Structure formats: structure tokens, C-alpha cells
Amino acid sequence: MFALDADGLRGRRVLDVAAGPSAFTAGANARGIDAVAVDPLYGLPADALATHALIDHRRVVTEMRRKPELFQRGTFGSIDEAAAARAKSARVFVEDYAQHFVHGRYVGGALPELPFADGEFDSVLCAHLLFIYAARLDFAFHLAACRELVRVSRGEARIYPAAGADGREYAEIGRLRAELAAGGVTVETRAVPHRFFVGSGTMLVLRR
Ligand SMILES: C[S@@+](CC[C@H](N)C(=O)[O-])C[C@H]1O[C@@H](n2cnc3c(N)ncnc32)[C@H](O)[C@@H]1O
């Protein structure tokens, strides 16, 4: 999703925002990356999160099967394969969360105000929150969220995907770019190798 260089990130501090029941943080730490995840759900007991992950998994898979025309072969060969990978990711997450919540690897918090200091992370990531919920989260939220992702990063922030749930580029990208540029932040749309659903081939890279 983020076209990351895992070797280059070894020993660096990475923040996954809106991480939910995903295995990124567990996998990154296993590779020697100092990764931390933040999500409003964190703080709940691990078994409550396991139930939440299961319900979320069913909802996403039902949605994928209802709209197979949105699925793109690439990272996964089929919807079944994608569903199995997501289920595994949720299991890895719950195990890692149960073990490492107490060590501060998983932090409760929400955009547009994250509980971290300015420039605390070398790299900041945010997948499947901004732009795909364009109907629920308005432009003001997107702008404030982008500024916040940049604030906690001393390098760059990456947002995936650059498209909305309909697979089209975020409709307000021009306005977002202009507002961020006025605050000294550049926005680059960059191709990524991940393919999952229509419009899943690009991310935004924000830099101060
Ligand atoms: C679709 S999930 C994405 C999970 C993960 N990033 C992925 O790509 O698989 C969206 C996540 O955003 C979280 N979320 C909702 N509102 C948020 C906010 N204001 N700030 C940060 N995260 C939020 C939800 O709790 C949920 O875990």
C-alpha cells in the first residue's frame, strides 16, 4: 500500500494512524522497525477488539462480494484470498495487541488531534480512512487530518489510497493541495504496487 523500504526503516520510528485490526505494526516490529499504531478503538480489551475485528471482517467481505466489479486482481488472486489474508491479519493483530498494548505499541487516539509531539515519527502512515469515507468525513476534517499527520512526522506522511470508495481521485484534491501548500506542505500523488479494488494504485505523499 505504501511502497515502503522495510530495510531503510529498520530502527526508525513509524506511526500507523487509524491502524484498526491490521497486522502492519506487528509485522514492522518483527522486522526491527519501531512502529506504533493509533486508533480510537485501542484501549478496549483484546477480546473486545477480536470481536470487533470479526464483525468488521464479515462486513468488508460481504461488501466485496456484493460489488465484485470493484475488486482488482493483483495483490490477491481472488476475493476469497483477500478475505483469508484479512482474517489472518486480524488474528496477528489481536495477538500482538494483547502482548504489547501495555508497552505503548498501541495507543488510543483519533484524528484530527493525535496524542503525540511534533515530529515524533520518521514516517507517518494512514490507510483506509481519509478519502474513502468522503461522504462521512468532510473537507475540513481531511485538511485538519493531513496537517496533523504532517505535524507528528519529521519526514513525510503517506495516505492510502489517494482515491475515494468509488475508485476516483479525491474530488477535493486541488483545494487540499492549495490549502496545504499555503502552509508549506507539498502533496505528491505516487503510484504503489498494491492492487485490491478499483482506484487502489496510488497514495498521497505529504512533506513539509
Ligand atoms: C477501514 S479501518 C482501516 C484499518 C487499517 N488502516 C487498514 O488499512 O486495514 C478504519 C479505521 O479508522 C479508525 N478511525 C475512525 N475514525 C478515526 C479517526 N477520527 N482518527 C483515527 N482513526 C479513526 C477506525 O476505528 C478503524 O479502525
Which pLDDT tens digit goes with each residue over 81-112? 999 999 999 999 999 999 999 999 999 999 99
Full-model pTM: 0.95
pLDDT at 136: 82
Three cell numbers at 12?
Answer: 526508525
Asked whether the predicted pLDDT for residue 64 surpasses 80, the reply is: yes
pLDDT at 199: 81
User: What's the pLDDT tens digit per position in 155-193?
Assistant: 899 999 999 888 888 989 999 999 999 999 999 999 999
User: What's the pLDDT tens digit per position in 4-15?
Assistant: 999 999 999 999
Site to probe by mutation for ligand 1, drawn from 59, 129, 160 as the one with most ligand atoms within 8 Å of Cβ, is 129
Residues 6+ apart with CB under 8 A from 152: 15, 114, 116, 117, 118, 119, 120, 121, 124
Phi, psi values for residue 189, rounded to 5°: -95, 120
Site to probe by mutation for ligand 1, drawn from 1, 17, 38, 39 as the one with most ligand atoms within 8 Å of Cβ, is 39
b/e per residue 69-91 (b: at least 16 CB within 10 A): ebbbeeebeeeeebbeebeebbe
Asked whether the predicted pLDDT for residue 134 surpasses 90, the reply is: no
pLDDT mean over 131-136: 80
Rounded CA separation 80/85 (Å): 9
Ligand 1 pocket at CB < 6 A = 17-20, 22, 39-41, 110-111, 127-129
User: What's the pLDDT tens digit per position in 135-149?
Assistant: 788 999 999 999 999
Nearest alpha carbon to residue 12 among 27, 34, 43:
34
pLDDT at 137: 86
